[in-house]
Amino acid sequence: MLVSFKTLLFAITAISFCTFIALFGRLPAFRDTPIGSLHRLLLIHIPSFLRSVDYRFCGGHVSPALARLGNYLMHDKHPLVLIMFIGLLVVSECMFIPKAWPRLGSGHRLLVPLVATPPYIYIYLAATSNASRITASNHAAQMRAYPYDHVLYKPGIQCRTCKLLKPARSKHCSICKACVAKHDHHCIWVNNCLGRDNYVHFIYLLISVTVLLCYGAYLGYALLSQRLKTEISRPSGQHWSTGMAWSLYFQYWSWALSQEIRIGAVGLLAFMCMPLSGGFLIYHIYLIWAGMTTNESSKWADWREAIYDGLVLKASKTQSGQSRSNEAVESEVKWPVSSDQLLIHRSVLEVQDEGEGTGDKWKPIYSLAEVENIYDLGFWDNLHDVFWNRR
């Protein structure tokens, strides 16, 4: 029994860890960390090694098919991951709730449907909302949503696919084949882009799933512990594991899991998935606090590296003569913060200097702290922007 318990624990831990690496390893915060290295190993180096093995022993017949499958899974709009996500929720709840229900008190019987239902609601809302997509009919309104900061976003740039001027904070999604207002990222879990309108549903989804996992893990522990309490005689008031050696402790848990396999397996899965959902939630709370989207965090990371390498210069729009040059394509935006800053890469300035002699107006900067993020209004105002500035 102990072997089966260890095997199940190892399998769930391995799946959770690989999922964590695949999802979080690409984030800028982990770019130069062991997590980023493992992400590259998992998604770049191992596939490259397998391709070389295929070409050596199979003549390269397997790799193209796998590459097409991988390209479809990662770069085409399909519901497979969404179906898997919903299926995992449904199957886990169908395994757990019928077995647990007769042993739950009235309070838990009230809480179970209240905790289990919200994820489905927010999956539906996040997956079906298309209001963040920029079209000819809503383009003018989206142009007035946010000002250009002249760092991450510059006016007058046309989307090569949609043939529309790109509003500040927007991005074209090659999977959804549309420009998305305040683009955060394309989420495979809901098979949709998260933007100005539906990002709030994604936040609620993370909250509801995290609560569901915590509650499921707690109920699993409580019910298994309840079973062990009935099997192990202890003096009144003592926990069943009091004074027990660790080896015996895990043997008892293995026995309980073998007796309550459905409750134990789902509870253990919920416990191991809590860091994934909780980590996502904490990361997005951080992004809101910092006044960034996931897309913008990557852009800021690129600027940070360029600044570290001494390749970035800063000037004011007034000094550079660009303060009024783009009014024709910059809509008037009611935004509480404005900035006179401009950033430029040294290589771009060198090209300009050849004909304009503008180099004396630009000064080197040495830290990203010297650059103002006009989209960061402070945590509470950032929250207001996420939850209520959606149209």
Q: Residue 213 and residue 222: Cα distance in Å, rounded?
A: 14
Model pTM?
A: 0.85
Distance between CA atoms of residues 267 and 96, nearest Å: 8
Question: Could you give the 3-state DSSP secondary structure of residue 258?
Answer: helix
Residue 192 pLDDT > 70: yes
What would the pLDDT profile of 276-304 be if each residue is shown by its tens digit?
899 999 999 999 999 999 999 999 999 99
User: For residues 273 and 279, what is the distance between their CA atoms, to the nearest angstrom?
Assistant: 10
User: Among 111, 128, 119, 129, which residue's Cα sits nearest to residue 86?
Assistant: 119
Residue in 233, 381, 370, 380 with CA at minimum distance from that of residue 314: 370
Give the count of beta carbons closer than 10 Å to the beta carbon of residue 273. 23
Determine the Cα–Cα distance for residues 375 and 370; give it in Å rounded to an integer: 15
User: What DSSP string describes 181-199?
Assistant: TT--EEETTTTEEE-TTTH
Tokens of 88: 């995992």
Q: What sign does the CA torsion over 368, 369, 373, 376 have? A: positive
DSSP 298-322: HHHHHHHHHHHTT-EEEEEHHHHT-
Distance CA 108, CA 104 (A): 6
Provide the angle, in degrees to the nearest 10, between the axes of the packed helices 80-100 and 118-128.
170
Residue 18 has pLDDT above 50, yes or no: yes
What DSSP element (H or E) covers 364?
A: strand 363-364
Contact criterion met (CB below 8 Å) for 288 and 111? no
Q: Which residues are known to be catalytic?
A: 187
pLDDT at 266 over 90: yes
Q: Which residue has the higher pLDDT, 228 or 70?
A: 228
Quick one: how far is CA 41 from the chain centroid?
20
| pLDDT tens string 99-153 | 999 999 999 999 999 999 999 999 999 999 999 999 999 999 999 999 999 899 9
For residue 351, pLDDT beyond 80: no
